Structure formats: structure tokens, C-alpha cells
Amino acid sequence: MTTTTQAPARTGSLTMLQGSALTIGAVLGTGVISLPGVAARIAGPASLLSWLILVIASVPLAATFGALGARFPDAGGVASYARRAFGPKAGAVVGWCFFFAVPVGAPAASMMAGHYVAAAFGGGRGTILAVSAALIVGVAGMNAFGVRLSGRVQLALAAVLAATILVTVAIAAPHAQPSAVGPIAPHGWPAVLTAAGALVWAFAGWEAVAPLAAEYRSPHRDVPLATGIAIVVVGALYLALAATTILVLGPRAGETAAPLSDLMALAVGEGARPATAFLALLLTIGAMNAYFAGASKLGSALGRDGALPPWMAEGSRAGEVPRRSLLVVTVLAGVTLSISALAGLDFDVWMVLATGSFAVVYVLGTAAAVKLFGPGWTRTGAIIGLVTAVGLAVSIGWAMLWSVVVSAAALTYMTLRGRRR
């Protein structure tokens, strides 16, 4: 029998606006700087439909995780919800899929930013790897001082980023050439679903800040409000940027790894590329900050609940800093980046693997909500979210194999731990 130690309640420090900023940063993140081009390459102009599908799908998913965070604020986040609904092993599977996806996804995100810096200043792969390493170390250092500092930094970042993306769209939009866009669906309409599978990375993040729900000053009131603000802001910015990329760059939209940079260069001149590289760095810092904060808090909760070694349990209470868990995330991210450097891998490999793990988190998290919520609109939303999550998981395809391996490792750990006890 597994028991959970109940710590004395402590008051969190996150405000509703800081929580909104963390959520916006987690979801908006690096999807803005690279994926409009990736989606255009897969489905052409029809990729706009892929973006719309993901925006619509995000509403029930975000609402479900917001409602769970408001009702069950805990450092374990989605792992705690699955644990409540289906038992310790289900909680361990969800927790491992999320926790070990972050050290894989963080280098992918930082390498995306590295591409922008390399495009602006040169240096090739060496620049990409150096930028990636600096971002990992810098974000880890920021989180070592606690969520109060990272929340304030995130609030400033979110304001700057939203304004910058709006300015980019406004400057580039007059250069739109609808007649030069070409065939709407050059690769067929089924490619829209394929592109939607790739874009799951852009919308992963609604679950990322779930472990921080207990850090809010008033989780019951602030978590749903923060989630609602994030849905509106993220959806509007993604759709505006994707449409501008297609209409302005035309057939070249699918050929670029740095669409923001190309848009600004076309509208203002090549001198704008350093500015967009700086924007890419800010976007990446925002996303990595939210994920490092959420994952480190989750790791401490998993240690507390027996799903990871007890050594990691330090920092699981509201207001505490989970530095041991943060150290594990940082070291593993460094290992992933080292593998990239030695094997010559780029961000796309790690992005796909991390996306598969997040899909498992979505499926089991929404399934837990269906079981935990009573009759009403929240349960109806959770059912819609579950159907949506399953559909997204199917669209991801082979990348789900990584999450199967992680899930099997989690179950093996729990089984061996049970035998030792």
C-alpha cells in the first residue's frame, strides 16, 4: 500500500497575471519561431486549417486542466490527478512521461532559437549548440531562485513577446500576395491531419503549469482565469502569425526554418534578423522557464509519492524550491544536448519524441478528469478533451513508441519498488 505524506498547507506566491504569463509562455513558446514553416512544408496553405483545428482542440483541453488545477492544486499536477483517479501506477506513468519529456524537449526548443542566432550572426552548428547550452544553464539558474522570480520574469517576457509578434504581423501584412500562394492543398487534404500532428508541439503546454497550481495565491479563482486568458492570447497570436507566414512568404513558407526572421527581413530589411534572433531567444526562455518550473516541481512530488527516488522529494510543498529535481532535469537536458552534438542530430528528432510523451499526459489527464468530475459542464468538457487527446495521439504516429518505453520504465520502477517494500 502506497501512502502520501500530507504536508502542512502553505500559501503560494503566484498572481493570476503571472500564472497567465507562465501558461502563455509554455504554450506559445518555440512553436511560433519554427512550426509555421514546418506546417506549410507538410500541407501548404491548407496548414492554416491545421492551426485552426489545434486552436479549437485546445479549448476543451485547456479548460479541463484549468478545472483540475483549481480543484486539486498539487505539485504533482497531472500525475496527481491520474493517481487520484486510477491509482499510483497510472500517476507514475503520467509523471514519468511529463518529467522525462522535458529534458528531451528543452534542447529541441533551445536549438530552435540557436538556428535564429546562427542565421543572424553566423557560426553554423557551433553557434546553435552554444546558444542551446547557454539557455539550458540560464533557465535552470533562474528557477533555482524559485517560482516567485521566474513568475515575475515570465510576466515581463509575455508582454514583450505578445507586442513583438503583433508588430511583426502588422509590418509584414502589407507585403501579402494572395495570388502567389499557389495551390491550397498541394499535398492533398490528408496532409492537414499530418500537419496537425506536427503542431501538437506548438500546443503542448496546457499541462505544463499544472504542477504550479498550488503555487497560486488563490488556485480556485486564479487558475481558471489564467487559463482563459492564455487560450485567447495564444490562439489569436498563432493564427495571425501562421496566416501572415502563408500570405507573405507564399511558396517559400515551407522552405524556411526561421519564418519570423524571414518576415521581418522582407518587411524591414536584412538588418532585422538580429532583432528576430533576440525575439527567438525570449520566446525560448519563456517556454523553457515554464517547463523547467513545472517539471522540477513535478519531480519533487513524484519523489514524495514514491514514483521517483525519495531523495527528490525536497521542495514539493508550496513556496519551496525543488532544487534537487531541478538539478536532475538540467543534467538530463545536458545529456540530450551532448547526444545531439556527438550524433549530429537536430531539434526535430527530440521535438517529435517529446510530443509523443505529452500526448500520453493529455490522454490520461483528461481521462482522470472524466472520472473525477461530477455531472456538469466540466465533465462534458473533459469528455470532449479526452476524445480530442486520443485523436491527437493517433495523429502523432510512430513517435508514440518513445512514450511506450517511458511508461514501461515507470511501471517497472513501481513494481520493483513494491517488491522491495
- The values of phi and psi at residue 210, to 5°, are -60, -40
* Residue range 404-419: mean pLDDT, rounded: 89
Q: How confident is the model at residue 9 (pLDDT cuts 50, 70, 90)?
A: very low
Q: What is the pLDDT of residue 39?
A: 83
**Identity of the highest mean pLDDT range in 274-283, 311-320, 411-420:** 411-420
Q: What is the pLDDT of residues 259-293, one digit of tens each?
A: 777 787 777 777 777 877 887 787 788 778 878 88
Q: What is the pLDDT of residues 234-265, one digit of tens each?
A: 888 888 888 888 888 877 776 666 677 778 77
| Three-state SS sequence of the chain | CCCCCCCCCCCCCECHHHHHHHHHHHHHCCHHHHHHHHHHHHHHHHHHHHHHHHHHHHHHHHHHHHHHHHHCCCCCCHHHHHHHHHCHHHHHHHHHHHHCCHHHHHHHHHHHHHHHHHHHHCCHHHHHHHHHHHHHHHHHHHHCCCHHHHHHHHHHHHHHHHHHHHHHHHHHHHHCCHHHCCCCCCCCCHHHHHHHHHCHHHHCCCCCCHHHHHHECCHHHHHHHHHHHHHHHHHHHHHHHHHHHHHHHHHHHHHCCCHHHHHHHHHHCHHHHHHHHHHHHHHHHHHHHHHHHHHHHHHHHHHHHCCCCHHHHCCCCCCCCCHHHHHHHHHHHHHHHHHHHHHCCCHHHHHHHHHHHHHHHHHHHHHHHHHHCCCCHHHHHHHHHHHHHHHHHHHHHHHHHHHHHHHHHHHHHHHHHHHHC
Q: What is the pLDDT of residue 332?
A: 95
Q: What is the pLDDT of residue 198?
A: 74
* Residue range 175-183: mean pLDDT, rounded: 76
Q: What is the pLDDT of residues 189-207, one digit of tens each?
A: 888 888 887 777 777 777 7
Cα-based angle 234, 328, 278 (whole degrees, multiple of 5): 40
Q: What is the pLDDT of residue 146?
A: 64
* Residue range 368-392: mean pLDDT, rounded: 89
CA distance 83 to 76: 9
- The values of phi and psi at residue 48, to 5°, are -60, -35
- Percentage of the chain modeled with pLDDT above 90: 20
Q: Which domains does the chain have, with CATH numbers?
A: 16-420 (1.20.1740.10)
Q: What is the pLDDT of residue 3?
A: 42
280/118: higher pLDDT: 118
Buried b / exposed e across 241-271, counting CB within 10 Å, b at 16+?
bbbbbbbbbbeebbebbbbbbbbbbbbeeee
CA distance 93 to 73: 19
Q: What grid cell was written down for 345?
A: 542530430
Instruction: Work out the number of other CB atoms within 10 angstroms of the CB of residue 348.
Output: 16
Q: What is the pLDDT of residue 18?
A: 75
Residue 2: C-alpha distances to residues 73, 142, 257, 299, 304 (Å) = 20, 34, 48, 17, 11
Q: How confident is the model at residue 401 (pLDDT cuts 50, 70, 90)?
A: confident
* Residue range 373-381: mean pLDDT, rounded: 88
Q: How far apart are the first and last CA of the chain?
A: 9
User: What pTM does this model have?
Assistant: 0.76
* 308, pLDDT greater than 60: yes
Q: What is the pLDDT of residues 68-104, one digit of tens each?
A: 888 888 777 888 899 999 999 999 999 999 899 999 9
Are the CB atoms for 288 and 135 separated by under 8 Å? yes
